[in-house]
């Protein structure tokens, strides 16, 4: 049976209050840090490409190659590159088969959080939001701290080398 149904329609300008916070965004400007990470990747034999084909993902690590979604803000690109390089450093050897997707994503984003925060970008809740998507928790982080520290140290060294 075809027919009509009453429905309420509103415009956003009819709402009151502050805007809702943006979820999963990184704010700020990484200055030359992205270029330094790109040089680090090249020195490690990791190629970097950009492709719309990976959307809606922001980045992928393929083992020796990182692909980023073009058009991200500089802060988002830096954070995504850091996350994918963490995968390259932590999850492309023997250890990959000993970890779950939950552990790998938690470690990569925790590493990205440390590095991104260290250069002064505002991560808001982006990392905790992402880690929670993968059911990461304090226990996973605690078990992974030595790996996160190792990867973050390598990436931070690459950012501070003159």
Write the pLDDT tens digit of every residue in 26-40: 999 999 999 999 999
Tokens of 32: 């030359």
Domain count, the chain: 1
Q: Residue 81 has which token pair?
A: 């590159």
Indicate if the pLDDT at residue 16 is higher than 70: yes
DSSP letter, residue 137: -
Top-confidence residue, 149 or 136: 149
Q: Is residue 69 part of a domain?
A: yes
Q: Quick one: DSSP state of residue 122?
A: B
Helix (H, G, I), strand (E, B) or coil at 158: helix
Q: Is residue 34, in this structure, part of any structural domain at all? A: yes
- Domain span including residue 103: 25-160
What CA–CA distance (Å, rounded) separates 65 from 84?
9
111 within domain boundaries: yes
Domain assignment of residue 4, yes or no: no
Tell me whether residue 17 is in a domain: no
Q: Which residue has the tokens 């027919």?
A: 3
| 45 belongs to a structural domain | yes
Question: How far apart, in whole angstroms, are the C-alpha atoms of residue 137 and residue 32?
Answer: 32
In a domain, 137, yes or no: yes
pLDDT at 22 over 70: no
Residues 77, 7: Cα–Cα separation, whole Å: 41
List, as one string, the DSSP characters of 19-88. Answer: PPPPSS--BS--TTHHHHHHHHHHHTT-EEEE-GGGTT-SEEE-SSEEEE-TT--HHHHHHHHHHHHHHH
Residue 7 domain-assigned (yes or no): no
pLDDT at 162: 60
Give yes or no for residue 24 having a pLDDT over 80: no
Average pLDDT over residues 142-153: 96
């Amino acid at each position: 049976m075809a027919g009509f149904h009453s429905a309420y329609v509103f415009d956003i300008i009819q709402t009151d209050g502050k805007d809702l916070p943006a979820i999963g965004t990184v704010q700020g400007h990484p200055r030359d840090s992205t270029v330094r990470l790109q040089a680090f990747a090249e020195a490690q034999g990791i190629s970097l490409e950009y492709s719309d084909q990976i959307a809606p993902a922001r980045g992928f690590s393929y083992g020796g190659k990182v692909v980023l979604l073009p058009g991200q803000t500089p802060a988002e690109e830096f954070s995504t590159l850091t996350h994918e390089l963490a995968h390259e450093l932590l999850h492309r050897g023997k250890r990959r088969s000993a970890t779950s997707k939950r552990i790998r994503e938690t470690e990569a984003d925790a590493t990205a959080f440390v590095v991104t925060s260290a250069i002064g970008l505002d991560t808001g809740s982006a990392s905790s939001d992402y880690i929670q998507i993968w059911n990461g928790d304090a226990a996973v982080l605690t078990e992974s701290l030595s790996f996160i520290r190792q990867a973050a140290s390598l990436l931070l060294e690459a950012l501070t080398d003159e």
